[in-house]
Amino acid sequence: MVKLPEKFPEYSIMYKTISKQIKRLENTKVNFEEKEEITLKIQNYQRELDKIKEKFPDNYFDEFDSS
Say what angle helices 32-54 and 8-26 make with each other, to 10 degrees: 160
Mean pLDDT of 8-24: 91
User: What would the pLDDT profile of 35-58 be if each residue is shown by its tens digit?
Assistant: 888 999 999 999 999 999 888 888
What was the pLDDT predicted at 19? 94
Domain ranges of the chain: 8-66
Residue 14 — pLDDT band, cuts 50, 70, 90?
Answer: very high
Share of the chain above pLDDT 90, in %: 40
DSSP 7-48: THHHHHHHHHHHHHHHHHHHT----HHHHHHHHHHHHHHHHH
Mean model confidence pLDDT for the chain: 85
